[in-house]
Amino acid sequence: MRGDRGFPVRLRFTKAGKVRFVSHRDVARAFERAFRIEQLPLAFTQGFSPRPKVSFGLALGVGHESVAEYLDMELVDGLDIEEMPARISRALPDGIDVTGACGLTERAPSLQEAVTAVGVELRLANVDTAALTDAATRALAANTLMITTTRKGRSVVEDLRPALRDLVVGVDGDAGPVVHAEIKTQPRGLRPADLNLALRELLDTAPRAVPTDEGSEDRVLRTHQWIERDGARLEPLEADRATRTATRLRVTSKGLTDDRRDDSGGNDLRHDHTGAGSTGNRRIA
């Protein structure tokens, strides 16, 4: 144990493909289920209805994809951190994969508090690259970028410009133009779907929020989250990484922890270096 905090761990994971239409809450449920399947020694809150100590970072919009999602969790005993991505991924639905893990320093700030900027890729269907480049240039040059959007079921007018840091338009082969956007999250961010809407208004083209097929829908991919401190920009797995590696935990056949076992036990913690363990026998949400 590490004082009264146990062993805090941070995970990075993806959300891609059809699972992009799964809500943030359902993603959380999928992880809780995966943790139970893999018998991770999660710490729980106190009180009448204990909950596992798991907290997610910035919510991703339904329909959006990401290669840079994060969650923090707390264990009551140490695990081999290097084995965790493969172990947890095999118990998650297709499209959600854990791609990195690290131990955290004690009292590390929460993801919601620490992340100050994100990077996203916007793909606007059936849009000319030159026209999109002009729209992005005008958006950055403008003092305000007003749109009418919906918040909690009510129509509101918002200015996206304060949260917008940069827009760069490139071309991804036959896939067409892609907008690389950098967005601030503090004191308030913006929804990438709203930025898509603003760019389409500058292009004077109708929004394509409702997909009809894979080639005709606007897409959003979150590519980065950053924690910025003292002039440095760090990925969340780097910002508060613990310097000490957690001790390895063995698991008995009944799921009880027993750190006195030798390396001949604990089959649930064995790592498949071929990578097969991370893709076989995937669970369906």
Please list, residue by residue across 276-285, b when 16 or more beta carbons sit within 10 angstroms of its beta carbon and e when fewer do. Answer: ebbeeeeeee
pLDDT of residue 4: 54
Give the integer Cα–Cα distance in Å for 38 and 153: 39
Over residues 23-63, the pLDDT tens digits come to 999 999 999 999 999 999 999 988 888 889 999 999 999 99
195 within a domain of the structure (yes/no): yes
> Are 145 and 222 part of one and the same domain?
yes
First to last CA, the chain: 33
Q: Are residues 133 and 166 in the same domain?
A: yes
223 and 251 within one domain? no
| 133 and 202 part of one domain | yes
In a domain, 220, yes or no: yes
Residue 2 located in a structural domain: no
For 116-155, the pLDDT digits (tens) are 999 999 999 889 999 999 999 999 999 999 998 888 888 8
> Quick check: 185 and 58 in contact, CB under 8 A?
yes
pTM of the shown model: 0.79
Task: Tell me how crowded residue 247 is: count the other CB atoms within 10 A of its CB.
Answer: 11
Maximum Cα–Cα distance for the chain, whole Å? 67
Domain count, the chain: 2
* Distance between CA atoms of residues 110 and 62, nearest Å: 23
Cα–Cα distance for residue pair 218/205, rounded to 1 Å:
12
> β-strand 219-229 against 65-75: which pairing, if any?
parallel
Same-domain pairing of 16 and 123: no
Structural domain contains residue 125: yes
- 205/103 same-domain check: no
Distance between CA 183 and CA 80 in Å, rounded?
Answer: 35
Mean pLDDT of the chain: 82
* 191 assigned to some structural domain: yes
Q: Where do runs of H (alpha helix) occur along the chain?
A: 24-37, 84-89, 111-114, 129-141, 192-203, 236-239
Pair 119, 225 in one domain: yes
Which structure tokens are listed for 142? 């403008």
Q: With CA atoms as reference, report the closest residue to 257 among 33, 7, 5, 4.
A: 7
pLDDT digits (tens, 9 = 90+) for 206-248: 554 434 445 568 899 999 999 999 889 999 999 999 875 444 4
Specify whether the CB–CB gap between 12 and 72 falls below 8 A: no
Is residue 103's pLDDT more than 80? yes
Selection from 16, 9, 12, 234 nearest residue 102 by Cα:
9
Same domain flag for 104 and 141: no
Residue matched to tokens 């590519």: 223
Residue-level pLDDT at 280? 44
The CATH number assigned to the domain holding 225 equals 3.30.70
Whether 139 contacts 91, CB under 8 Å? no
Mark whether 125 and 209 lie in a shared domain.
Answer: yes
- The gap from C-alpha 234 to its chain's centroid, in whole angstroms, comes to 15
**Is residue 218 a part of any domain in this protein?**
yes
Domain that holds residue 224: 114-234
Q: Residue for token digits 């649930």?
A: 268
Mean pLDDT, rounded, for 194-209 = 80
